[in-house]
A and B are shown apart, each in its own frame.
Chain A
Amino acid sequence: MTSHPTTEKQSARHWFELVVMLVRRDLKVRYRGSFVGYLWTMLNPLILMGVLTLVFTKVGNQSSAFYPLYVLSGILCWNTFSQSLLTGSQSIIGNAGLLKKVHIPHWIFPSVSVLSALTNMLFAFPPFIGVALILGFKFHLSLLTLPLTLVLFFFFLVGLVLVVGTVNVFFRDVGHMLESGMLILFYSAPIAYPIDMVPQKWLPLLQMHPLFYFLKAFRSSLIDAPISVQDWLYLLLLTIASLACGILAHYKLRDRLFYYL
């Protein structure tokens, strides 16, 4: 026997290859033959940054020179979060045709959504560096923690999207509810406003925002001083909790999924 197709215990390596292949397909289809597509991915956060900076410096009396970088890092983190969740929540249903005909695990598709979103985030880093250079910003050594933050962010999102994507198969309105929920999450997150602008008594509430610590971590890597060990611990716990929920939802529901696709 020369080939080794689908076996009972398919190697993790194969599924990883498949995820990468599907991410590449996503990106190819998105950017195929158009530099404009790629340009848009870069330009989109910059425009939002411009608007928010304008509002908060002129109206909100925000005067830090590197304020645009603060906003932009927040936007990059947010965009990845929202793109993961919005595409991920539909990812299992969207691939129902395939799941009904090919033997592949369901978790592949939420993972692909998250990885695509993270790749788009990486595409948006060059403009970030551009803005930093223009503003004369010098990167700290804390930039070295960026890969760790990205890895944690990836697993955090995979867990979350696995839950939402799976539940959305059973209840198709979850995806729509999510869209409204995203609006609340966007305006309640410290993306455009600095955390120290928030009154002390509101801080515990703000800390419950799913992105609070991730925003902090991304900013610590990109523009700020390193975050505390305690914060890293929170991040780790958050990631583990999210991933555990995702895996639990997957194992509990995977056998029933087919009947609802």
Chain B
Amino acid sequence: MASTTRTIALESQDLTIDYIVTKHRYTSLKEFVLATLSGRRVKAETFTALKNVNLQLHRGETLGLIGRNGSGKSTLLKALADIIKPRVGSVTRRGTITSLIELGAGFDGELTAEENIYLSCMLMGFDRKMITRNVDRIFEFAELNAFRKFPVKTFSSGMYARLGFACATMIDADIILIDEVLAVGDEAFQLKCLQHMQKLKNSGRSIIFVSHDLGTVQTFCDRVCVLDAGRIMHDGGAAEGVELLRSLLQREIQSPTIKNLSSQLMLKPHEYYQEGENRDDFAIEYRIDKSLRNLPRKFQIFGFGQSKPLLLIREAEVEFLQKKGLATLKDEDGDLHGLIRFPRFPFQPGEFMLFLTIEDAGEELGHIARGFRFFSHQSEVNEERGILDIASYYRKAVSQTLV
């Protein structure tokens, strides 16, 4: 496609966005200072939401942005709208730009409908005079003329959404970015919204439109980009893009990866540890089948406990233990073989279960469990201590990795 900079309204170059995983960063000054002083600061874990995205929006073009949940659509839109500042890559905008990420952003339940229109529209970038000129039209569009002076907390969710979209009809700029907002309201209202968008499209605005409504995308957009796991998989014809995403979604439904978990996962106390033998240290051995390793965002979690996991060790923490020399990971024909050593068993002697859980984005895909008994030299249970007994050596090595 021949295109000079003149015809390009919006462009991203090698846009990469990494989010910081909240669980693994220091959220308090106290923790941060303590970790820094003791030299135990671990680098925050990141999640790559967008990877080297090069996107061009041509003048007067309507581009549909589609993809599975969590594929990075909203992140991309926010980066294009200058809400997120990318640390790698850049965005070039030529002309005025406005974005609609959420309907009724900034609405305050205590304020009246009219006050909220002013507030919300000002947050979208309009000045007072401009809003004053349009406020009657907004109420007409929302069909809420009788409720001007009512606090929006008294509104039904439908009225609220109508007011939100009516504000959004103010939206006008050379470049318009719209995130999944048409999903609200009844069909008649949706049609009205779509007509409004069509009007913007016909008047030559450049539009990026994020939606899960593939039918609308196909008819409304000149071009479609399919995002998957933060990368552009398709950039071109609308019909082909929609087709590609449909096939992706189809594949996800019939995911063949979890078939027989007991053959795909293995977990047991390490063999040097003879059951019944008295010792303080302990090790577990596990294997994760290659079919599971290729899941897009899988996590593995190890648990110890009596009937449910009491002590959890997550994937990131295994990596940390590996750095400390307490875990070894080996690749055998694509399968992952791991060994985790515990200088001291963290529980009092007794019967235990070992758990290995596989999660995908917080959702458990499956787990296996195995029972075992642990004895130690000090075989007697210390009644005063409860079942968890973290020795100081162990605490030093692992404590900051425990959840």
Contact = CB atoms under 8 A, between A and B. Distances in A.
Contacts of B126: 3, 5
A103 interface: yes
Interface in B82-117: 82-85, 87, 93, 96-99, 101-102, 105-106, 108, 110-111, 115
A101 to B, nearest CB: 4
B347 interface: no
A1 to B, nearest CB: 8
Given A6-B98, A28-B110, A171-B27, A101 B105 contact: yes
Contact of B96 (A5, A18, A173): A5
A100 B78 contact: yes
Nearest to B127: A14
A196 interface: no
B124 A28 contact: no
A3 B27 CA distance: 42
Given A5-B125, A6-B98, A177-B29, A103 B85 contact: no
Given A6-B124, A7-B96, A171-B32, A28 B115 contact: yes
Interface string B14-25: 000001100001
Interface string B258-291: 0000000000000000000000000000000000
A35 interface: no
B118 interface: yes
Contacts of B82: 103
Interface in A1-27: 1-8, 10, 13-14, 17-18, 21-22, 25
B171 A5 contact: yes
A3 B130 contact: yes
Contacts of A187: none
A102 interface: yes
Contacts of A254: 85
B144 interface: no
A98 B106 CA distance: 6
Nearest to B25: A260
B3 interface: no
- Among the interface residues B108, B122, B170, which one has the most CB atoms of the partner chain A within 10 A? B122
Chain B's interface size range is 35 or more
Nearest to A21: B122
A192 B282 CA distance: 64
B238 interface: no
Chain A's interface size range is 35 or more
Interface string A76-110: 00000000000000000000001111111000000
Contact of B123 (A1, A18, A173): A18
Contacts of B25: 260
A25 B111 contact: yes
A123 interface: no
B128 to A, nearest CB: 6
Interface in A137-195: 171-174, 177
Interface in A204-247: none
B50 to A, nearest CB: 13
A24 to B, nearest CB: 8
Nearest to B20: A259
Given A21-B119, A260-B20, A2 B128 contact: no
26 contacts: A5-B173, A7-B97, A8-B97, A14-B122, A14-B125, A14-B127, A17-B122, A17-B127, A28-B115, A29-B110, A98-B105, A100-B83, A101-B105, A102-B105, A102-B123, A102-B124, A103-B83, A104-B123, A171-B28, A171-B32, A172-B28, A173-B28, A173-B29, A254-B85, A256-B85, A260-B20
Given A18-B123, A28-B111, 10 more contacts: A4-B130, A5-B126, A6-B99, A17-B128, A29-B108, A98-B105, A100-B83, A172-B28, A173-B29, A258-B83
Interface of B: 19-20, 25-30, 32, 78, 81-85, 87, 93, 96-99, 101-102, 105-106, 108, 110-111, 115, 118-119, 122-128, 130, 170-174
